[in-house]
Amino acid sequence: METVIQFFEDLAINLELQQDYRRDPAATMQQYGLQKHEITAILSSDKAQVEQLVGNTTLPVTFVFPAQ
């Protein structure tokens, strides 16, 4: 669980990680150290599956990307 939470926190602030994630989400999560079931849950976009990974106590993260 800690790795998933840390991944989300890093994804919110790390531009290079964001770019890698946009190119290939699954590979980026695997390189970060997430397990296959964690990657599958996140890629499913199923809120219930993700909450099982991180609990229901994690605050939402808002991504703000600069205008291009």
Query: Tens digit of pLDDT for each residue in 28-39?
Result: 999 999 999 999
Distance CA 1, CA 67 (A): 33
Decide if pLDDT at 2 tops 90: no
Distance CA 31, CA 10 (A): 13
What residues make up the domain containing 25? 2-53
Distance CA 66, CA 27 (A): 25
Decide if pLDDT at 59 tops 70: no
In the prediction, which pLDDT does 54 show? Answer: 85
Is this structure's pTM higher than 0.95?
no
43 within a domain of the structure (yes/no): yes
67 within a domain of the structure (yes/no): no
Total number of domains in the chain: 1
62 within a domain of the structure (yes/no): no
Q: Are 21 and 8 in contact (CB under 8 A)?
A: no
Side-chain half-sphere CA neighbours of 32 within 13 A: 27
Rounded to whole angstroms, the maximal C-alpha distance in the chain is 36
41 within a domain of the structure (yes/no): yes
